């Protein structure tokens, strides 16, 4: 109440009772202690400050309270200022006295301290009534309209609302809720007042400072489900005139859920094995949150399923639950499914460890199971070949043959060898329902994620509950959800049906990229194997056969760097292939290379060739092109502008299996090394950078053409040789001279000798002929013997010095292999494809010796390479090649063996016929005969057929013959030169002879026309020359003379010793080769100077035997017709000559001839 600062205020007594069985220590907090009797100024000031902070003091400040006893405390009010309100909350702390020390406390018996509060109110207004009437309080509550709406409260629980009492005035205001004070219910009406009002507030009395606020909390005790409406008065400054009224509304609720129509619902008739889905509404009739969970009986766990199986329904909310009905047999279903409901756990229940009470609501569920079936059409689905990362769609149909609705779920099951990493299979309607007797189309989408040759999978249709399906979730809960939401379990899931009983459709698809391949190449005068290596076609085909790289995908998606795909930055990350165009002299005919490009894939391919920095779209006339930035760009632009390198066609479209010819023309009008970067790009496929390189030299230059693309620096890969080979084969490297003068060369073998020294002095690499001469436009071979000592790759570079010309560097690489076939202890580098390079032509992609391109010249060989394979030493092997003429003229042909002429030791190559005439439109069969030498050898080169027009030609001969025939039948007028004959008869005329004939016979004879023409030409020479020129203009131009042509034929093979051939291929393969038993000794100087008759006879006899053993000679004898025996031989002494009778006797009993071979021994 009202107190004064000048007199002592009467203390109030507070009684505290100990209801615990332990002795407690009670003390009051927030008080400061001072020494008794200390009257110093400092102490007095500290006591004044303490009194201002703590106007209420409790004595004693601490006490011990025994169990069941009480303790009185006096509360003293010590105000320090007048005309103020003093409101404080006093805190009383208590703890068990036995736990005052940690030595007396354990983890099992420790009880934490607790506290209770006491609110003290007072003021120091002397004339409070007059002051309160003079100052009108300016206060209001923060709630709108003075209304308190308590949230929906569970019956038996409490709800709280906190509002602010705001003071907008300049003076402090005291407030009080008279009906909510603790002493307001004292006396006889205490129980009635408590039962009448379920509302309480805290604090019920206090004050609000100027321009401040105070928080007041109201509590509602939901004792019943009635709606409570009550007005709460708040008195300001203790005046009945200044009252604020709050209108409170509150109500208690109990859980109330309604499922479906009055807690019942019915499913449609469903086929056995199928699933029917129905949405059922769960309505919360109350305004409180309710937790629910379906407790499906165990016997119905495989028939009924609901999703969600449990959850929370907000007050007044309608929740949709999905029910699945999958009957197991043909019967009706009538069941009551319990629904367990409860309210959420309150914080008070959580502290006390009490769970809310549960209630069960039984829901009636009805349904009927019918017999039915589901089919899928078509039985097989073919997508064909699809582009990788492109969607391909097909449609299947699901037909419900039953009278009930069927719920389905489609699933993709990949066959063995295929997986979801190969492709993505999706459906536009993977889950759905089919009404009775209805058909539902479903679109199946296939997207290949990588190149897949044959991706097989099945589209399976499920009609039962599947744990993997989101639409058929059962009512079972996991342990975590069960422990965090509801404490009861539910039914288990339904096992899925077997795949054999399900309808399915088999599908097959292939995912690929558009793929191109170079399948043939042709260039006049160049053998196909050499051209294949020079153009690096094997590397190009290997690049085209692989899938596009990420850089190519990004370039195709973004359009390249700086908006173009042929800039220097855009071409840098792409794979490059060096394409060589050879070395030729200035002024030579342009090198024309024909490539056959084939679409070997199963998808159409759109391709194009772009040069570096080329505009991808045609620019307008007004567009000014920028100058090249670098010297390389300027050089390549100059090549294109001057037509040095041309490619035609530059773009095309190829269907699967279709072919086209691409021509690369390299003109030799400018001396220098020429490089042009081109981009071969396939739409939705690979993009490969082509480095087209060639060289044109002056007429007096001297250099070699060694490499595929870079002439001065080249690499040659030797054939692999087994370690420990006692007689390694001799391997040749061809040196091609593209110049008009012969070249004298010397091979610097110092690097090879250094390689031998590194191999502990073992002769790994030896050169047999380090010097020689390469004829003009010819070929010479340098023989090497490679004998490895280890299983590894050997590599060295030797310099070929040219006398008076440009030196070249040749890199020689060879691999030593294990005699165990790669199972040795070596590092395995010898078996690496990169180390072997292009030595194994069986690994060449797209290579075939037979031509498929139209001939680059008017002449065509039936094969571009004559492969003899592996042959034993001293064997004779033959191949037949057809040379066909497509020209309109007759040609003389002559074969040039180049560097393959050989001898008896290293082997010799012969061609029959070596020369002849090839008539127009006809073919000549050429026999290529290789006679293996005694030493092992690897030969790989080319022979050339030089074709020149026949002189004189057939037309010229026919024309001369026709003129001769016409001259025989043409009449000739004879004119006589000189003076006319005399009129008087001469002496001869008197004798009866002709004087005219004698005069005519003694002079030159010519025709009259010739005589007139000759006289005019002598008289008017200028006129004759002009007439001749005018006459030549009227004549048709004669056709150009036929040009010379060169056709090249590759020759390759490996000569092995007899022992090595038998070990590797067997005796049967060895017997198939013709090997003469007699071979003349090539060392003629060892033969005796005078041969005896017996030695000559033995030699001739051996030659005849070898001739008779030749398979071709034996076939000729077999083809001879059998002659009849003359009639006179059957008569004894019938006039037949004696020699015939002796011949008959010799036929009847042939004499035994001595063995010349044995006698010679």
Alpha carbons within 13 A on the beta-carbon side of 1049: 28
Give the pLDDT score at 481: 30
Q: Which of 324-338, 424-438, 705-719, 894-908 has the lowest mean pLDDT?
A: 705-719
Q: What is the pLDDT of residue 1?
A: 65
Asked whether the predicted pLDDT for residue 1004 surpasses 80, the reply is no
Looking at the chain, the whole-number percentage of residues with pLDDT higher than 70 is 78
1052-1086 pLDDT, tens per residue?
999 998 888 888 888 888 888 888 775 554 444 44
Burial of 922 (0-12, 13-18, 19+ CB in 10 A): exposed
Helix (H, G, I), strand (E, B) or coil at 156: coil
Q: Which runs of E-coded beta strand occur in 416-471?
A: 423-427, 431-434, 439-448, 452-462
What is the pLDDT averaged over residues 998-1026? 60
Q: Can you tell me the distance from the alpha carbon of 517 to that of 329, in angstroms, rounded to the nearest whole number?
A: 62
pLDDT bin (cut points 50, 70, 90) of residue 156 is: confident
Neighbouring C-beta atoms of residue 350, cutoff 10 Å: 11
Task: Answer yes or no: is pLDDT of 595 > 90.
Answer: yes
**Which residue intervals of 266-400 are DSSP H helices?**
347-352
Residue located via tokens 């507070």: 14
From residue 1125, give the alpha-carbon distance in Å to each of 111, 259, 305, 1121, 1147. 142, 120, 107, 13, 11
Q: Does pLDDT of 590 surpass 80?
A: yes
How confident is the model at residue 328, as a pLDDT?
80
Instruction: Give the pLDDT confidence score for residue 35 in this predicted structure.
Output: 59
Q: Is the pLDDT of residue 837 over 90?
A: no
Contact between 890 and 920 under an 8 Å Cβ cutoff? The reply is yes
Highest mean pLDDT: which range of 181-190, 576-585, 975-984: 576-585
In this structure, of 499-503, 602-606, 617-621, 782-786, the range with the lowest mean pLDDT score is 617-621
Residue 141 has pLDDT above 80, yes or no: yes
Mean pLDDT of 337-360: 83
Rounded Cα–Cα distance for residues 805 and 743 (Å): 8
Q: Who's near 285: CB < 8 A, 6+ residues apart?
A: 256, 257, 258, 316
**Residue 210 clears pLDDT 70, i.e. is over it:** yes
Tell me if 800 sits within 8 A of 735, measured CB to CB: yes
Mean pLDDT is lowest, of 218-222, 476-480, 820-824, for 476-480
Cα separations (Å) of 700 from 156, 644, 775? Answer: 117, 21, 14
Average pLDDT over residues 180-185: 51
DSSP state of 1074: B
Whether the per-residue pLDDT at 441 is higher than 90: the answer is: yes
Supply the pLDDT for residue 745.
Answer: 93
Residue 401 scores a pLDDT above 90: no
Does the pLDDT value for residue 1037 go beyond 50? yes
Strands 659-666 and 974-975 turn out to be unpaired
CA Rg, the chain, in Å?
59
Q: Are 1049 and 943 in contact (CB under 8 A)?
A: yes
pLDDT of residue 951: 78
Q: How confident is the model at residue 665 (pLDDT cuts 50, 70, 90)?
A: very high
Residue in this structure with the two tokens 């299996």, named with its chain if needed: 657
Q: What is the pLDDT of residue 166?
A: 92
* Residue of higher predicted confidence among 107 and 595: 595
- Please compute the mean of the pLDDT values over residues 247-262 and round it to a whole number: 88
pLDDT of residue 1013: 60
Per-residue model confidence (pLDDT) at position 841: 81
What span, in angstroms and rounded, lies between the C-alpha atoms of 294 and 305?
Answer: 10
Strand segments, DSSP code E, in 513-590 are: 516-523, 576-585
Q: What is the pLDDT of residue 963?
A: 74
User: CA 1113, CA 596: separation in Å to the nearest integer?
Assistant: 42
What sign has the CA pseudo-torsion 598, 603, 606, 609? negative
CA distances from 437 to 54, 376, 401, 429 (A): 89, 13, 5, 19
Q: pTM of the predicted model, to two decimals?
A: 0.60
Q: Are 1003 and 976 in contact (CB under 8 A)?
A: yes
For residues 140-162, average pLDDT: 89
Strands (E) across 241-287 are located at 243-253, 257-259, 264-266, 270-271, 276-284
Query: What is the C-alpha separation between 1116 and 1094, in angstroms, rounded?
Result: 30
> How does pLDDT run across 1104-1150, given as a tens digit for each residue?
776 776 666 776 777 776 666 665 555 544 444 444 444 444 444 44
Helices in 839-929 by DSSP H: which ranges?
none
What is the model's pLDDT at position 754? Answer: 93
Nearest alpha carbon to residue 527 among 949, 929, 930, 863: 863
Please give the pLDDT value at position 1010. 58
- Cα torsion 732, 736, 740, 744 to 10°: value is -40
Percent of the chain exceeding pLDDT 90 equals 18
pLDDT band at 1156 (very low <50, low <70, confident <90, very high): very low
Instruction: Give the model's pLDDT for residue 36.
Output: 59
Confidence grade of residue 666 (pLDDT, cut at 50, 70, 90): very high
Residue 753 is predicted with a pLDDT of 93
Question: Tell me, what's the pLDDT at 621?
Answer: 65
Mean of per-residue pLDDT scores for the chain: 79
Q: Is the Cβ–Cβ distance between 943 and 861 less than 8 Å? A: no
Integer CA distances (angstroms), 686 to 512, 565, 616, 679, in order = 12, 13, 18, 10
Strands 147-149 and 243-253: parallel
pLDDT at 184 over 50: no
- 445: pLDDT confidence band, cut at 50, 70 and 90? very high
**Local confidence band at 829 (pLDDT 50, 70, 90 cut-offs):** very low
Q: Which residue has the higher pLDDT, 333 or 624?
A: 333
pLDDT score recorded for residue 39: 67
Residue with tokens 């003629």: 1084
Q: How many CB atoms lie within 10 A of CB 1001?
A: 9
Question: Which tokens is 1026 given?
Answer: 């002009």
Look at residue 755 in the predicted model and tell me its pLDDT: 92
Residue showing tokens 């290579």: 847
pLDDT digits (tens, 9 = 90+) for 271-313: 776 678 889 999 988 888 889 999 998 888 888 999 998 999 9
The burial of 136, by beta-carbon neighbours within 10 Å (0-12 exposed, 13-18 middle, 19 or more buried), is given as middle
Residue 195: pLDDT over 70: no
Cα Dmax for the chain: 210
Q: For position 473, what pLDDT does the model report?
A: 33
SS3 at position 49: helix
């Amino acid at each position: 109440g009202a107190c004064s600062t000048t007199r002592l205020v009467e203390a109030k007594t507070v009684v505290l009772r100990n209801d615990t069985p332990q002795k407690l220590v009670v003390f009051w907090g927030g008080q400061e202690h001072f020494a008794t009797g200390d009257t110093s100024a400092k102490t007095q000031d500290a006591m004044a400050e303490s009194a201002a902070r703590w106007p209420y003091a409790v004595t004693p400040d601490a006490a011990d309270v025994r169990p069941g006893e009480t303790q009185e405390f006096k509360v003293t009010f010590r105000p320090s200022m007048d005309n103020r309100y003093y409101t404080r909350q006093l805190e009383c702390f208590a703890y068990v006295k036995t736990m005052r020390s940690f030595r007396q406390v354990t983890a099992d018996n420790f009880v934490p301290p607790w506290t209770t509060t006491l609110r003290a109110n007072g003021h120091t207004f002397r004339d409070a009534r007059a002051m309160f009437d003079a100052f009108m309080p300016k206060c209001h509550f923060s709630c709108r309209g003075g209304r308190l709406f308590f949230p929906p409260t569970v019956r038996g629980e409490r709800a709280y609302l906190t509002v602010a009492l705001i003071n907008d005035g300049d003076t402090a205001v005291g407030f009080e809720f008279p009906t909510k004070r603790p002493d307001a219910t004292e006396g006889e009406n205490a129980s009635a007042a408590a039962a009448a009002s379920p509302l309480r507030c805290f604090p019920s009395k206090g004050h609000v400072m100027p321009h401040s606020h105070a928080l007041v909390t109201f509590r509602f005790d939901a004792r019943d489900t009635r709606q409570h409406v009550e007005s709460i008065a708040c008195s300001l400054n203790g005046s009945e005139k200044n009252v604020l009224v709050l209108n409170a509304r509150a109500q208690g609720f109990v859980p109330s859920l309604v499922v479906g129509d009055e807690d019942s619902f019915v499913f449609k008739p469903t086929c056995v094995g199928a699933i029917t889905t129905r949405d059922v509404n769960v309505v919360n009739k109350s305004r409180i949150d309710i937790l629910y969970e379906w407790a499906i009986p165990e016997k119905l766990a495989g028939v009924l399923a609901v999703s969600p199986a449990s959850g929370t329904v907000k007050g007044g909310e309608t929740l949709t639950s999905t029910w699945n009905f999958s009957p197991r047999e043909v019967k009706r279903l009538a069941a009551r499914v319990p629904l367990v409901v409860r309210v959420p756990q309150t914080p008070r229940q959580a502290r006390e460890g009490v769970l809310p009470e549960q209630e069960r609501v039984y829901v009636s569920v009805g349904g009927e199971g019918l017999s039915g079936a589901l089919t899928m059409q078509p039985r097989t689905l073919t997508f064909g070949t699809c582009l990788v990362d492109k969607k391909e769609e097909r449609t299947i149909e699901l037909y419900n043959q039953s009278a009930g609705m069927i719920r389905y779920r489609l699933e993709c099951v990949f066959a063995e060898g295929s997986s979801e990493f190969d492709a993505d299979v999706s459906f536009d309607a993977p889950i759905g329902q089919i009404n009775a007797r209805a058909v539902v189309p479903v679109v199946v989408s296939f997207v290949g994620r990588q190149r897949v040759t044959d991706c097989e999978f099945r589209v399976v249709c499920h009609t039962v509950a599947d744990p993997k399906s989101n639409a058929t979730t059962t009512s079972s809960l996991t342990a975590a959800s069960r422990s965090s939401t509801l404490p009861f379990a539910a039914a288990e899931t339904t096992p899925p049906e077997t795949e054999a009983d399900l309808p399915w459709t088999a599908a097959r698809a292939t995912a690929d990229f558009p793929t191109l391949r170079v399948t043939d190449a042709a260039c006049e005068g160049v053998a196909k194997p050499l051209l294949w290596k020079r153009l690096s076609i094997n590397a190009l085909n290997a690049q085209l056969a692989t899938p596009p790289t990420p850089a190519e995908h990004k370039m195709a998606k973004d359009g390249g760097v700086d908006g173009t795909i042929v800039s220097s930055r855009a071409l840098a990350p792409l794979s490059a292939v060096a394409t060589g165009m050879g070395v030729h002299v200035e002024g030579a005919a342009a090198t024309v290379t024909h490539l056959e490009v084939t679409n070997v894939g199963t998808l159409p391919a759109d391709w194009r060739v772009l040069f570096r920095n080329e505009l991808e779209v045609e620019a307008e006339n007004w567009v000014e092109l920028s100058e090249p930035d670098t010297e390389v760009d300027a050089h390549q632009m100059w090549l294109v502008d001057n037509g040095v390198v041309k490619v035609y066609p530059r773009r095309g479209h190829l269907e699967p299996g279709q072919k086209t010819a691409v021509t690369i023309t390299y003109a030799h009008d400018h001396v220098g090394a020429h490089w042009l970067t081109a981009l071969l790009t396939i739409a939705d496929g690979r993009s490969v950078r082509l480095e087209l390189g060639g060289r044109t030299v002056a007429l007096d230059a001297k250099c070699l053409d060694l490499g595929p693309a870079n002439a001065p620096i080249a690499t040659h890969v030797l054939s692999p040789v087994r370690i420990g080979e006692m007689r390694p084969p001799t391997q040749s490297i061809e040196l091609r001279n593209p110049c008009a003068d012969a070249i004298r060369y010397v091979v610097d073998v110092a690097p090879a000798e250094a390689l031998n020294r590194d191999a502990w002095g073992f002769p790994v690499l030896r050169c047999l002929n380090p010097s020689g001469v390469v004829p003009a436009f010819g070929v010479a071979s340098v023989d090497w013997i490679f004998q490895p000592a280890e299983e590894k790759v050997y590599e060295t570079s030797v310099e070929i010095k040219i006398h008076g010309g440009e030196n070249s560097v040749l890199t020689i690489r060879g691999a030593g292999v294990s005699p165990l076939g790669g199972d040795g202890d070596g590092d395995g580098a010898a078996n690496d494809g990169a180390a072997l390079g292009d030595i194994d032509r069986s690994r060449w992609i797209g290579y075939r010796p037979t031509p498929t391109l139209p001939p680059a010249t008017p002449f065509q060989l039936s094969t571009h390479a004559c492969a003899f394979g592996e042959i034993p030493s001293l064997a004779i092997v033959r191949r037949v090649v057809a040379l066909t003429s497509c020209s309109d003229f007759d040609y003389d042909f002559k074969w040039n063996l180049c560097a393959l002429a050989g001898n008896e030791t290293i082997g010799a190559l012969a061609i029959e016929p070596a020369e002849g005439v090839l008539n127009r439109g006809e073919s000549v069969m050429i026999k290529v005969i290789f006679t293996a030498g005694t030493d092992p050898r690897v030969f790989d080169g080319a022979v050339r057929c030089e074709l020149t027009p026949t002189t004189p030609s057939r037309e010229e001969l026919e024309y001369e013959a026709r003129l001769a025939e016409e001259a025989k039948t043409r009449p000739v007028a004879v004119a006589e030169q000189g003076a006319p004959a005399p009129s008087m008869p001469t002496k001869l005329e008197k004798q009866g002879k002709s004087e005219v004939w004698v005069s005519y016979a003694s002079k030159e004879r010519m025709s009259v026309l010739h005589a007139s023409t000759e006289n005019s030409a002598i008289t008017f020479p200028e006129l004759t020359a002009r007439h001749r020129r005018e006459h030549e203009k009227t004549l048709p131009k004669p056709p150009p003379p036929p040009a010379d042509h060169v056709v090249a034929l590759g020759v390759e093979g490996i000569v092995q010793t007899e022992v090595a051939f038998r070990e590797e291929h067997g005796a049967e393969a060895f017997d198939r080769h013709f090997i003469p038993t007699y071979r003349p000794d090539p060392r003629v100087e060892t033969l005796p100077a005078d041969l005896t008759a017996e030695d000559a006879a033995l030699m001739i006899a051996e030659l005849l035997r070898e001739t008779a053993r030749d398979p071709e000679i034996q076939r000729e004898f077999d083809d001879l017709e059998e002659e009849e025996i003359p009639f006179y031989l059957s008569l004894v002494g019938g006039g037949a000559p004696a020699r015939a009778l002796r011949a008959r006797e010799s036929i009847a009993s042939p004499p035994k001839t001595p063995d010349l071979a044995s006698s010679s021994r």
